[in-house]
Amino acid sequence: MSHTGAWRLILDPFTGDEGAAASVARGASGGDAAPGTPAALPGALNMAVDEALLAGARAGAAPVLRLYRWAPACLSFGRNEPARGRYDTDAAAAAGLELVRRPTGGLAVHHAHELTYAVVGRVADLGRPREAYLRINQALVAALRAVGVPAELAGGAGRLSVAEAGPCFAVPAAGEVVCGGRKLVGSAQRREGDALLQHGSILLDGSQSAVTRLRLDVAATAATRDPGAQGAPAGWLEPSAVAASSSHGSTTVARELGRVMAPAALVEPIAAALGAALGTRFAPAPMDSSEQRHALHLLARYRSDDWTWRR
């Protein structure tokens, strides 16, 4: 069974009945965006929302394109990525950076100057995981090209191992969205039963170098590659299109366009391209109230050290 009506475009998951409860969960940082700008939420809440949407899809809710941001900035680990004892948590806290573990696979991502997408639906709606991956990435390429970014899909067969954990954006894998061979979008999936969540980071500006700078076991390497890093923790999170890819295999929309693009400017292009790729259209919608309640329930796990440092 697939959904034939409009699919949901969610820019702020917490409107409606659960809005008041969520305002506690989201803290002082979110909820102040202009209309049409994807909401910025803390990392744990962002992950709880994505997992709740996945559960909603399993229960029959209409498929979703969610676009969102992160506040405060956050470092996320892949579900199975070894992280315990490998990151300088004091330095992360000093830099105002939250830490969270995703429900999806892959490697560490620094979420600051990005637009994040999540696509959630059943296999009947999105295709099998690899088909969905290709369709979604092709739609992202089309959306980025529509705003002037010469994005394309990576060829070849990049291989990643969680045993060699590190930055998600270090190496593009086959089928990922790249620009001039440098990774522009990092994505990960989770399948539960017949439902699928794919979410990923579209780098708008800044740098992924915080991932390696916070790694305890590769600090010497990072210092060698980026000599300015070690003495200036306060500057870690400053946006800089110039610094974006000097020492890493990633690029940003700002670097490719020569100017900073507001997250809201990508909303319509992505919704249009993904709708075309999946044979549907997206209409603005909130989360269902049951999904909102489930997200707030899941929040405790995503905030817990037991989950964040499970490996």
Binding residues (CB under 8 A) for other proteins: these are 78-80, 103-106, 128-130, 133, 158-163, 173, 187-193
Cβ proximity to other proteins, 150 vs 193, nearer residue: 193
Rounded (10°) CA dihedral 33, 109, 213, 239? -30
Verify cis geometry, omega within 30 degrees of 0, for the bond prior to 286: no
| Secondary structure (H, E, C), the chain | CCCCCCEEEECCCCCCCCHHHHHHHHCCCCCCCCCCCCCEECHHHHHHHHHHHHHHHHCCCCCEEEEEEECCCEEEECCCCCCCCCECHHHHHHCCCEEEECCCCCCEEEECCEEEEEEEEEHHHHCCHHHHHHHHHHHHHHHHHHCCCCCEECCCCCCCCHHHCCEHHHCCCCCCEEECCEECEEEEEEEECCEEEEEEEEECCCCCHHHHHCECCCHHHHHHHCCCCCCCHHHCCCCCCCCCCCCCCECCHHHHHCCCCCHHHHHHHHHHHHHHHHCCCEEECCCCHHHHHHHHHHHHHHHCHHHHCCC
Q: Min. distance of Cβ 175 from other proteins in angstroms?
A: 10
Query: Of 64, 168, 278, 295, which is the active-site residue?
Result: 168
Cβ proximity to other proteins, 95 vs 100, nearer residue: 100
Cβ proximity to other proteins, 34 vs 163, nearer residue: 163
| Known active-site residue 179 | no
Q: Min. distance of Cβ 205 from other proteins in angstroms?
A: 24
Q: Which tokens hold the place of 164?
A: 């060699």
Cβ proximity to other proteins, 1 vs 242, nearer residue: 1
Q: Min. distance of Cβ 236 from other proteins in angstroms?
A: 26
Taking the CA atoms of 264, 269, 272 and 276 in sequence, report the sign of the dihedral they define. Answer: negative
Cβ proximity to other proteins, 37 vs 201, nearer residue: 201
Cβ proximity to other proteins, 22 vs 165, nearer residue: 165
Q: Min. distance of Cβ 300 from other proteins in angstroms?
A: 20
Q: Min. distance of Cβ 250 from other proteins in angstroms?
A: 16
Q: Which tokens hold the place of 80?
A: 């199975």
Q: Min. distance of Cβ 161 from other proteins in angstroms?
A: 5
Instruction: Give me the active site residues, please.
Output: 168
